């Protein structure tokens, strides 16, 4: 149903100089689902999140978020829309001079007029949801990488967003921390009634929680569907990516002249 589409990307084209990042991309993020955007490094996955959030403007096409054409909004309207969008940055992006508690409280203090006692209770509830209520007085420098990512997640959901966006949430995590984050993304999505967009190249972890996956390559959506659908794909490109095969349509070598041409040219 069209009414359950919260983010609708149509015919998206975007360039950086002469390099084509997107060339006619269509993506739909549906209510209540975890939607994954996948592909090798350099395919524009994080760029797509920035386009959805209005940080970048497309060269062609439209991006509609919660019924609003993002790139036709004025500054104030765009900021109001962003308050309904949570973001977990790849680095976590915690404020290093603030405690865990104050990091999570920051968006509540910045964007609401709630009294401090209520902010206190809300922060503890968000930290409880990610299993770190007991770490509220620690500083970011005292946290492990996995703990820091979970604090950042608590901060991202502090304002109860409608849409959550995750930029490479599993990058640099040990297996236990990765398993915790996988579980948290799915549980928070369902418990809070969110709609989530997960940008990742971690196939196994993402496939565990995604309802739908879009696979990007060379500026286009190569294929989309459920994890099961992509696991049965006839596409050699999709099989190579989903099964982490070293040989296939994606070349090992970056495009350039042959080795013989380089060596002989250097000798001349």
Instruction: Return the domain boundaries, the chain.
Output: 2-84+161-267
pLDDT score, position 7:
92
Residue 21: pLDDT over 90 = no
Residue 251: pLDDT over 80 = no
CA 40 to chain centre: 14
Question: Mean pLDDT over residues 205-226, rounded?
Answer: 88
Fold category of 2-84+161-267 in CATH: Rossmann fold (3.40.50)
Residue 267: pLDDT over 60 = no
Residue 266: pLDDT over 90 = no
Integer-rounded Cα Rg, in Å, for the chain is 20
pLDDT score, position 174:
77
Question: Mean pLDDT over residues 103-132, rounded?
Answer: 92
């Amino acid at each position: 149903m069209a009414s359950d589409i919260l983010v609708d990307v149509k015919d998206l084209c975007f360039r950086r100089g002469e390099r084509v990042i997107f060339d006619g991309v269509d993506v739909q993020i549906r209510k209540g689902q975890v939607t994954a955007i996948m592909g090798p490094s350099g395919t524009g996955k994080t760029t797509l999140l920035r386009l959805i959030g209005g940080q970048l403007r497309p060269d062609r096409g439209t991006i509609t978020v919660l019924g609003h054409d993002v790139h036709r909004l004025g500054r104030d309207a765009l900021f109001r829309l962003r308050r309904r969008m949570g973001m977990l940055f790849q680095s976590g992006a915690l404020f290093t001079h603030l405690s865990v508690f104050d990091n999570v409280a920051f968006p509540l203090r910045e964007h609401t007029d709630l009294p401090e006692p209520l902010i206190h209770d809300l922060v503890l509830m968000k930290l409880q949801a990610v299993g770190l209520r007991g770490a509220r007085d620690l500083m970011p420098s005292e946290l492990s990488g996995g703990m820091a990512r979970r604090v950042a997640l608590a901060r991202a959901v502090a304002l109860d967003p409608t849409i959550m966006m995750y930029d490479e949430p599993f990058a640099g995590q040990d297996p236990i921390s990765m398993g915790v984050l996988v579980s948290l993304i799915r549980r928070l999505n369902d418990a809070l009634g969110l709609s989530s967009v997960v940008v990742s190249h971690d196939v196994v972890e993402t496939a565990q929680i995604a309802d739908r996956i879009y696979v990007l390559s060379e500026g286009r959506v190569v294929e989309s569907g459920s994890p099961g659908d992509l696991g049965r794909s006839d596409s050699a490109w999709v099989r190579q990516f989903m099964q982490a095969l070293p040989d296939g349509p994606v070349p090992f070598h970056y495009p350039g002249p042959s080795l013989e041409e380089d060596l002989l040219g250097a000798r001349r």
